[in-house]
Amino acid sequence: MSEKDILKFLQNLGFSKREIQVYMFLAKSGPQSTSFVAKRLKMERVQAYRTFKKLQEKGFIEATLERPTRFTVVPFVSLLESFIETKKTEVENLNKQKESLLTSWQTVSAPESEYTVAKFSVISGKKKIHAKMLNMIDEAQKGVNVLTTGLGVIQEDIGGVFDTVFETSKKRSIKVKIIADISRENFRIMERLCKRITMENVKAETRHLNLNAHYFPRFLIKDGEEAILYTSSGDEASILNIEDEGLWINDKMFISILQAFFSQMWQISVEAEKRIDELRTGIPICETIVIKDPEGAWQKVGKMLENAKKDVILITSSQSLSKLLEKDPFEKYHRQGVQFRLMAPIDLDNLETAKKLSTSYEVKHVPINYMTMMLIDDLNLFMFKSAPLNDVTDESFFYLNDTFFTNDKRSSERVSEMLNDTWKRGMDLSEITSQAAGYRLPTITVKTTETVSQTVATMLKNDVNAVLVTKNGTTVGIIGERDLLKEIVQKKKDPDKTLTEDLDYTPLLTLSRGQTMTDALRIIRGRETKRIAVAKDGQLMGMLTQELAAKASTSS
């Protein structure tokens, strides 16, 4: 026990600050007169006499019989034993009164509610906040989630938060997830924690997230039932002196929102070990993830575009070009000097859109593709799924559910070679204007008298996404899987009873060797159909619409 502990004990006994000074002086120097003590402690003699009198009345010092009178302390062991006996008596009295006190309380207090009342409390100061966190961790039964900043890692380590989390996890097998901004200042701490997780088989996971702020709000969630949020304010130069302000809350709605935010951050974060290796070796993190949340995926896309230095190459669907023109996400970065190369299947339906985009970006036609891919600076690769054919609500340029991202150099290099090769083979817009985009016609056929179920079975059997529609042995149109789903899902038709001829398939116009797209425009103006597929020499040259035919007629 230190002298500090003794001083605290004397305070608990009821000593005033001046009485403690006198008592400790007498304890160290032995019997002394009042005047001597007053002189040495630089006290007024009147104050000294009063202090001695109070100490003597309380039984803490005793007077000698000599002249002049001197005083000596009552042995410390006597004080300690007296204090213990007093506390014992108080506890005994409380135990005797317990039943009567509880009975009295029930008569004056309101009945407890059956429902949990949402509560919150404000907590000031690091020590109190850490004490509350330690208490929450100690009571956890299911799991603990922690999000903390670079500065927070250092403070939580000093406060014993991580040690308590791991010990509790081992004791009760609770799951622990920690998201931390791992920096050069704290990565040694995180390295030690990661080693401890492995060596002690702790059920804990740690990930890194760049929070881009020294004072980003930190939080701890316990069992999905209560949380404490806290943040720092002050001079970062002195880590120990920065003051913290915290909020403890158990509101279910608030906790669920905070938990959802944590899950989102978890998805876009990277493994702590990778970040630690990056800081140790200087080699950038190699990251490969699938981002399920659309908002998180878009944040990742935005971050990579913000960091783009030179080049973005994109291959996408023909439908996406129109969306790109409506809501251009690249304009900002293009103005900053980043070059964009866009590839998509281009036909007469989206040719004008492609021309408008070409005023800002390089645009080329490529054969039909099945996945949208974007490569930034030959390193950061995104792969986007196609939107479900029955999803008509998604109007964004990218379909962001389950977005794949990697900056693994080996994977990116292979895709870069493929995309650049595809770009070289692509067709310039000037070529498309003169001869249209060339697509191979499907080779599999179905009859107009077949049901939709039979048509789908034929497509699945032959692993194709489009087939030719024939009537009496003559090809009359083309139908794809997207058309089938629109007809059946959106219009709620019975696939076992609906015939292919009843569907809104795309009619086919086959040009002879001497005919051109101009002839095709003239032909469609004389038909009632809204659109038509134009083929020549076994190639699908493009799609014509009545609107385009009308424009061509006006211009001619």
Residue 155 to residues 53, 125, 187, 199, 359, Cα–Cα distance (Å) = 48, 12, 13, 24, 53
CATH of domain 120-281: 3.30.870.10
Q: In sequence order, what are the beta bridge partners of 546?
A: none
**Where in the chain do CATH 1.10.10.10 domains reside?**
3-78
pLDDT of amino acid 362? 93
Give pLDDT, residue 482.
78
Which range is most confident: 188-192, 296-300, 418-422? 188-192
Q: Is the model's pLDDT at 201 over the cut of 60?
A: yes
The b-or-e profile of 325-338 (16+ CB within 10 A means b, else e) is eeeeebeebeeeeb
Q: What is the CA 387 to chain-centroid distance, rounded? A: 23
With a cut of 90, say whether residue 549 has pLDDT above it.
no
pLDDT tier at 523, thresholds 50, 70, 90: confident
Calculate mean pLDDT across residues 258-268: 89
CA distance 189 to 275: 13
As to burial, measured by CB atoms within 10 angstroms (0-12 exposed, 13-18 middle, 19+ buried), residue 264 is: middle
- Which segments of the chain belong to CATH 3.30.870.10? 120-281, 288-434
- Residues spanned by CATH 3.90.1280.20 within the chain? 439-555
The structure's pTM equals 0.44
| pLDDT of 175 higher than 90 | yes
Whether residue 396 contacts residue 327, with contact meaning beta carbons closer than 8 Å, is answered with: yes
Task: Note the CATH architecture for domain 3-78.
Answer: Orthogonal Bundle (1.10)
Phi, psi of 233 (to 5 degrees): -145, 140
Q: Indicate the class that CATH gives domain 288-434.
A: alpha beta
Q: How far apart are CA 161 and CA 387, in angstroms?
A: 44
pLDDT of residue 268: 81
Q: What is the average pLDDT across 413-429?
A: 83
Structure tokens, 115: 């429902």
34-38, 109-113, 439-443, 484-488: range with lowest mean pLDDT: 109-113
Cα(340)–Cα(194) distance, integer angstroms: 41
Give the pLDDT of residue 531: 73
Compute the distance between CA of residue 416 and CA of residue 544 in angstroms, rounded to an integer.
Answer: 34
Q: Which amino acid is at 287?
A: E
Residue 536: which H helix or E strand, with range?
Answer: strand 531-536
CA–CA distance, 355 with 74 (Å, rounded to integer): 100
* CATH placement of domain 439-555: 3.90.1280.20
Residue 131 CA neighbour count, 13 Å, CB half: 6
Residue 316 and residue 343 in contact, taking contact as beta carbons nearer than 8 Å: yes
Q: Predicted confidence band at 438 (pLDDT cuts at 50, 70, 90)?
A: very low
DSSP percent split of the chain into helix, strand, coil, nearest 5: 45, 20, 30
The stretches of 386-490 forming alpha helices (DSSP H) are 409-425, 429-435, 452-462, 481-485
Tokens (6 digits) for 280: 């140790």
